[in-house]
Structure 1
Amino acid sequence: MTKKNNFEQAVAGAHRRLDNLLQRASQGDEQLAGEDSPIELLKEAIAEISISLEETQVLGEQLQQQNNELLATRHLVEAERQRYQDLFNFAPEGYLVTDAGGVIQEANYAAAELLSVRQSYLIGKPFFVFVHLSERQKYRQIMEQLKQQGNIRGEELRICHHHGPIDFPSELNALAICHTEGDLGKLRWLFRDISQRKQIEQKLHEQAALLDITTDAIFVKDLHDQILFWNKGAEQIYGWQKQEALGKIAGEILFQETSPQQVKALETVIEHGSWQGELNKIKKNGDEIIIASRWILMLDAAGLPKSILAVDTDITEKKQLEAQLFRSQRLDSLGTLAGGIAHDFNNILTPIMTIAQLLPLKHPDLDESSQQMLKMLQSNAKQGADLVRQILSFTRGSEAKRTIVQPWYLIEDIKQIVKRTFPKSIDIKTDIGANLGNIWGDSTQLHQVFMNLVVNARDALSDGGNLQISVTKLFIDENYTRSHIGAKVGDYVMITVADNGVGISPEIRDKIFDPFFTTKEIGKGTGLGLSTVMGIVKSHGGFVEVSSQVGVGSQFYVYLPSCEESADQVVDEIPILTGQGELILVVDDEAAITQIIKTTLEIHNYKVLNAQNGIEALEAYNQYKDEIKLVLLDMMMPAMSGEITIRTLQIINPQVQIMAMSGLATAEALLQTTGISIQGFLAKPFAVSQLLNSVQEILAPSSEP
């Protein structure tokens, strides 16, 4: 029982006792006797009043204490209410209290600031008016959900206000407060601006998309080499799908075996935080690839190593192109050197060959032994000339007269030669496609290309085997040209010479086209076969590729530009004719060459003037220009080059007949590089018949009677 009840009962008891005394005092005098005399009643009344006052005092004190306690409780409640109000008002997120219809009754400072209005402005406004037009239907669905479920969590809703520049995405949480009767009462709303979070999410989404778009392989592995992340680029490069790679040990699926370079890379990234270099890795299908790899050490919140981020770029194709380019540059350098040697060699061989042919004509009574020695000299000089010609074919493609060549006819001819001369243990097959088109080139040189290739195949089949030559037509597109040096967009005839012989080891594969490089025994090869192949094919606008595996065999692919023109008829050779006393000016800085040409021409009824250089040639021509029918001069001379000499002669006499000589250039190349027009060209070294026929081709019209 409470103190308030005790107080009320005590007062009621005192009233009852006083009423009893009052009744007794109002009775008749006859009843007032003994103890009920007025004096006694008065005493008793005074005693009752005294007791009641004491009880009232005690109870009053208790009531005062209770009031003090109630007042303290009230202050505490007020403080708590103020604390709640402060928390409500100063919370960093927007708080709203609405009625069941969504009309705002309370709003904190954050809500007013987010909506860019005064706090008082919100009171009485429907929350609905601050929802973006495009999402008001969603707001209605949220209200229905609140009525049915009593709360919502993490809903996104776009907030705006038509009176100001307010427009932001918000995350919305709400709670429905119901009356004791179960009716929907107030709604409590919490909303926050998630613009920054959405921007971060968008940025992360874009970064994730970039990780998948990039062609680089990007993956993360822990310090135990277990793969934690694997992007699309890694799928494309290595062939392992994401679900296959995650959780795998990187070293087990990306390396054939642990290499010292791999161990060094791990030590470096742990010590210095990063590493980059090249690694040899394998794909899912077992193919080996070369990777440019960058590793970055990832740290945890405590700054301790956590994982390694790897970014890998497949540079296999780039490395192959670099090797091809390096090989091409090396061949060009060797070609320049070989070309200079060939020029001097031709000047040496020219008089040797010519003298060996002239001596039997000048001395027909020579004994048989001397004639045999001269034939041997002529044969050896010719071999030397062929060797120089191979060098020139390698260096500059030494062009002869180009005609239309039918590839099927060329290969069939090679096949017949192989069948007649190769061991019977070698089985040769040909596969010639249809509609091949033709090749614009020198049939003799192309014949040499494929003879060199089949001879190499024969040597690789020392114990017998299969040799196959196939011909097909293909179109090379721009994408193919990016990864193949020498290739251009267009139609090509591809001739493949394949064998199942010993193969070529990777260590020497890049050297096989170098001049004078050979793996054959001394005396069994010059090392010029494949370099000649490369030079001739290159001069025809084509390129060569090779693939080989030790113990399996080799395949050489020769690509030559295709043309649709029909083959021309073969032109008969011009017979050797003697002169009719025409005067020819011979200009060369090599005295042996001028002398032997002079002797040859004089034997065949020509008159000759010699000059050692361009200046002497101009002097002689000025003196005898009315008599000189032809000027035969070398293109490479000191003091005044052949080009300047020709141009000066043509100024003196535009009708001058000129035949150039060179141990390097061709007539076509001479015309392209110098732009001069000449009537004939003679390549050193030359035979007597070549010299005389070339002279007759120019002088024949003017030598008629």
Structure 2
Amino acid sequence: MQVICGRRGDRMNKKSYRVRKLKAIFFLALAVVLTNAVVSYNNTVKLIHKQQEVTYSYKVITQVESIQSILKDTETAQRNYLITADADDLQIYLAAAQQTNSNIQILSKLTADNHHKQQLISLLKPEITKRLNILQQEISLRQNQGLKAVRQLMLSDKDQQIGKEIQQLIHDSLKTEHNLLQQGMQQSQASSQKAIVTFFIAAVVDLVLVVLLYELLWRYIRQLQQTEVALRQSENRLRAMIDAEPECIKLIARDGTLLEINAEGLAMMEVESADVLIGKPIDAVIVPEYKAAFANLHESICQGNKGTLEFEIIGFQGTRRYMETHGVPLRNESDGTFIHLAVTRDITQQKQAQQKIREQGLLLDVSTDAILVRNIHNQILFWNKGAERLHGWKAEEVVGKNVLQLLYKEISPQLEDAYLRVMNTGEWRGELHQLTREGKVIIVESRWTLIRDDDGQPKSILSVNTEITQQKQLEAQLLRSQRLESMGTLAGGIVHDLNNILSPILMAVQLLQKKLPDQQSQQILQTLENNVKRGANLLKQVLSFARGIEGKQTIVQIQPLMAEIEQIIAQTFPESIICQIDIPKNLWYVRGDTTQLHQVLINLVVNARDAMPNGGILRIAAENLVIGEHSAQINVDAKAGSYIAIVVTDTGMGMSSSVQQRIFEPFFTTKEVGKGTGLGLSTALGIIKNHGGFVNVYSQVGRGTQFTAYFPASTFRDTHSLSPELESVTGDG
């Protein structure tokens, strides 16, 4: 398209060059003619100016001569009046004096724009005024004192001197003006001759230029006639080349109608002839929701701007296509406005591919697994929504970062082995410990797949991670339960044998107490009996753990039990331990053995006391809780249903993860020798399980421990089997 436009532009440039050349010659000729006219005009103006200067000099000379003549008449009339005292002479004098002043005023106005002549007037006017004043004084003296009084003044040298000075000034000014008049006449004659010669030369030059311009016009017309055929052939070739373009090319008028379209455009719009489209609105095939955007683009381009738009069309045969148009403004040389040149291409396949990619991306985001892609330098390239949910970071926060520094505390041998395995074999599968944004360690089942480029070189690694933290915890709980069950079976057999051993010993001790009444023997036998009974009680606890506790179960209310526990804590626990009990009044009931439940609570609070040797806060709380199917996965023994959760929390020393895994094992204890048997928590766990419940433990070293015992809540129908005493208690509450 650029080549075609370039060739067409060359032809237009050549034609434009010839036009510009002709215009240049025409304007050059016009400039010469105008120059000649200007020169002639300037010469004429100079001639008129010189003539005006001559006329001006004539006027000045006339006024000066008039002043000179009238001044003489004034002096003559004044002398006659002084001698004869004739009134007619006086009237002649007064008229001449008035005329002299009037001529001086006219001369002043005439020379107002001439500084040099104004200087002459400034010298002449005071002298004439002084002379007229002297003449008036003489007339006044004659009228008052007679001829004798004024005769001496008339014959004085001063009077004659003033008259001579005035005459000399007038003579000098007349001489100067006559010289200027002579020069002006000579210059006017020279300007007149120059103007005639210039006009003649300009006329000759103009005639030559007209002949030359006519010749050039004739040649240009012949060239136009010769190139017209070649131009039509070139236009046909240009049309063929444009029609061969694989993109739609359109010319759109300012009113939105189509001016031109190539063959590819006709194919896109599914018509055979351009006559169907030329002159019609171009937006006829545009899908309605895109018409406003296309109209805005068209308006912007017709104002001289470029623009791009993606839109949809429906061809005349019903085919829907995605189009991308690039609009360029073309200036109309006649009026300076713009029309719309649109180069449009079909991007339907590209849009479909993009849609497919978006759908695939949505599928990846819908996946609950964390899917990420990193390059061979471990920089994150892709991070789906599942990864955001699992690890907590948004995609924009992690893309480009090192995955090893982000998700792992340290580079373990397992990670190094996984990287080498995936680079060598193309895939790896295993379990990894990773970090979340909050610093929590999670366990994931990770599948790595190596992605190669077109040349077969390693490009990136696709990782799919599934969190199995809860699954691993449940597996650990199951293994622990199985281990405890095995140990219970073993302990049951051992307890049975030990009971068989202790029973004859206790019977023998009791017989010896009857046969040996002395105090020393009684003390020894009592000590022996106490130890045998203590051993029997210990074996009873072990047997209870091993076989499960069986007892009479009734509907039990938790509040009275909590009251007893609170009383025991207040009486026996050190004052450094602060006890906080939070039991709601609407707490549900539990079906169980009151004594056994009491034993569970005592074991939990005693352990909490022993964990706070330096004092702390012991908090006991209970709440109604409904566990759904999803929440039942928190523990291997949990089932969906209604529960009462009893929470015992301390602020003591806490436990490590390794200790937490063994606390329910029989005889396991972290206490000093003689301060614990290791059967308290194992017995409590047996009681809780026998009641259909389960227990969760959360502990951090140095921050305390929390035991949560879950007991199935009694149904509404069970509450009718309450004993009268219990019913009265609940009623009072």
State the TM-score, normalizing by the size of structure 2: 0.56
Cα separation, 2, equivalents of 1:536 and 1:400: 10
For residue 535 of structure 1, report the CA deviation from its aligned partner.
1.0
Are the counterparts in 2 of residues 349 and 384 from structure 1 also a CA contact under 8 Å?
Answer: no
Cα deviation per residue 1:35-54 (whole Å; 9 max; x = unaligned)? xxxxxxxxxxxxxxxxxxxx
Q: What's the secondary structure of 2:314's corresponding residue?
A: strand
Higher fraction of helix: 2
Cα separation, 2, equivalents of 1:308 and 1:228: 10
Q: Which residue of 1 aligns with 2:637?
A: 486
Q: Which residue of 2 aligns with 1:130?
A: 285
- Letter aligned with residue 267 of structure 2: E
Q: Which residue of 1 aligns with 2:350?
A: 197
Relative distance call for 1:145 and 1:519 in structure 2 (3 A) is closer
Cα separation, 2, equivalents of 1:186 and 1:256: 65
Cα separation, 2, equivalents of 1:493 and 1:189: 75
Cα deviation per residue 1:242-284 (whole Å; 9 max; x = unaligned)? 5544454444443333333333333334444443433323333
Counterparts of residues 184-583 of structure 1 (less than 5 Å):
188-299=341-452, 303-338=456-491, 348=500, 356=507, 368=517, 386-387=537-538, 389-417=540-568, 424=574, 427=577, 429-435=579-585, 436-461=587-612, 463-466=613-616, 468-478=618-628, 479-519=630-670, 525-563=676-714, 565=719, 568=723
Cα separation, 2, equivalents of 1:554 and 1:339: 31
Cα deviation per residue 1:158-185 (whole Å; 9 max; x = unaligned)? 22235x2322222223455555313779
For residue 540 of structure 1, report the CA deviation from its aligned partner.
1.4
For residue 537 of structure 1, report the CA deviation from its aligned partner.
0.7
- Letter aligned with residue 266 of structure 1: Y
Are the counterparts in 2 of residues 425 and 464 from structure 1 also a CA contact under 8 Å?
Answer: no
- Letter aligned with residue 154 of structure 1: T
Cα separation, 2, equivalents of 1:471 and 1:138: 65
For residue 122 of structure 1, report the CA deviation from its aligned partner.
4.6
Q: 1:156 aligns with which of 307, 310, 317?
A: 310
Are the counterparts in 2 of residues 515 and 527 from structure 1 also a CA contact under 8 Å?
Answer: yes
Alignment RMSD (CA, Å): 4.6
Q: Which residue of 1 aligns with 2:14?
A: none
- Letter aligned with residue 320 of structure 2: D
Relative distance call for 1:345 and 1:570 in structure 2 (3 A) is farther
Are the counterparts in 1 of residues 373 and 383 from structure 2 also a CA contact under 8 Å?
Answer: yes
Q: Which residue of 2 aligns with 1:642?
A: none
Relative distance call for 1:341 and 1:476 in structure 2 (3 A) is farther
Structure 2: give runs of 5+ residues left out of the alignment: 1-222, 727-733
Q: Are 1:173 and 2:326 matched, yes or no?
A: yes
Cα separation, 2, equivalents of 1:570 and 1:376: 41
- Letter aligned with residue 115 of structure 1: M
Cα separation, 1, equivalents of 2:516 and 2:592: 44
- Letter aligned with residue 88 of structure 1: I
Cα deviation per residue 1:127-164 (whole Å; 9 max; x = unaligned)? 44433355445554454444333x754323322235x2
Cα separation, 2, equivalents of 1:525 and 1:110: 94
Are the counterparts in 2 of residues 415 and 428 from structure 1 also a CA contact under 8 Å?
Answer: no
Cα separation, 2, equivalents of 1:93 and 1:305: 38
Cα deviation per residue 1:171-208 (whole Å; 9 max; x = unaligned)? 22345555531377986543222222222222333344
For residue 533 of structure 1, report the CA deviation from its aligned partner.
1.0
Are the counterparts in 2 of residues 505 and 550 from structure 1 also a CA contact under 8 Å?
Answer: yes
Cα separation, 2, equivalents of 1:216 and 1:525: 46
Q: Which residue of 2 aligns with 1:89?
A: 243
- Letter aligned with residue 477 of structure 1: I
Are the counterparts in 2 of residues 356 and 375 from structure 1 also a CA contact under 8 Å?
Answer: no
Are the counterparts in 1 of residues 448 and 462 from structure 2 also a CA contact under 8 Å?
Answer: yes
For residue 371 of structure 1, report the CA deviation from its aligned partner.
10
Are the counterparts in 1 of residues 632 and 639 from structure 2 also a CA contact under 8 Å?
Answer: yes
For residue 539 of structure 1, report the CA deviation from its aligned partner.
1.2
For residue 383 of structure 1, report the CA deviation from its aligned partner.
5.3
Cα deviation per residue 1:573-604 (whole Å; 9 max; x = unaligned)? xxxxxxxxxxxxxxxxxxxxxxxxxxxxxxxx
Cα separation, 1, equivalents of 2:360 and 2:654: 48
Counterparts of residues 13-32 of structure 1 (less than 5 Å):
none
Cα separation, 2, equivalents of 1:431 and 1:416: 11
Relative distance call for 1:117 and 1:389 in structure 2 (3 A) is farther
Q: What's the secondary structure of 1:148's corresponding residue?
A: coil
Cα separation, 2, equivalents of 1:383 and 1:326: 32
Cα separation, 2, equivalents of 1:255 and 1:440: 48
Cα separation, 1, equivalents of 2:673 and 2:679: 13
Are the counterparts in 1 of residues 297 and 307 from structure 2 also a CA contact under 8 Å?
Answer: no
Task: Tell which structure's C-alpha radius of gyration is larger.
Answer: 2
Are the counterparts in 1 of residues 329 and 338 from structure 2 also a CA contact under 8 Å?
Answer: yes
- Letter aligned with residue 503 of structure 1: G
Relative distance call for 1:449 and 1:295 in structure 2 (3 A) is same
Are the counterparts in 1 of residues 374 and 403 from structure 2 also a CA contact under 8 Å?
Answer: yes
Q: 1:118 aligns with which of 249, 266, 272?
A: 272
Relative distance call for 1:102 and 1:468 in structure 2 (3 A) is closer
- Letter aligned with residue 399 of structure 1: E
For residue 551 of structure 1, report the CA deviation from its aligned partner.
4.0
Cα separation, 2, equivalents of 1:492 and 1:180: 89
For residue 329 of structure 1, report the CA deviation from its aligned partner.
3.3
Q: Which residue of 1 aligns with 2:177?
A: none
Structure 1: give runs of 5+ residues left out of the alignment: 1-66, 572-705
Relative distance call for 1:506 and 1:211 in structure 2 (3 A) is same
- Letter aligned with residue 193 of structure 1: D
Relative distance call for 1:146 and 1:278 in structure 2 (3 A) is same
Relative distance call for 1:81 and 1:181 in structure 2 (3 A) is closer
Are the counterparts in 1 of residues 619 and 650 from structure 2 also a CA contact under 8 Å?
Answer: no
Q: What's the secondary structure of 2:302's corresponding residue?
A: helix
Relative distance call for 1:82 and 1:335 in structure 2 (3 A) is farther
Cα separation, 2, equivalents of 1:232 and 1:123: 49
For residue 536 of structure 1, report the CA deviation from its aligned partner.
0.3
Higher deviation after alignment, 276-285 or 218-227: 218-227
Relative distance call for 1:414 and 1:134 in structure 2 (3 A) is closer
Cα separation, 2, equivalents of 1:471 and 1:185: 82
Counterparts of residues 541-690 of structure 1 (less than 5 Å):
541-563=692-714, 565=719, 568=723
Cα separation, 2, equivalents of 1:384 and 1:400: 22
Q: Percent identity?
A: 39
Relative distance call for 1:204 and 1:351 in structure 2 (3 A) is same
Counterparts of residues 10-49 of structure 1 (less than 5 Å):
none
Are the counterparts in 1 of residues 509 and 528 from structure 2 also a CA contact under 8 Å?
Answer: no
Aligned length: 494
Relative distance call for 1:417 and 1:352 in structure 2 (3 A) is farther
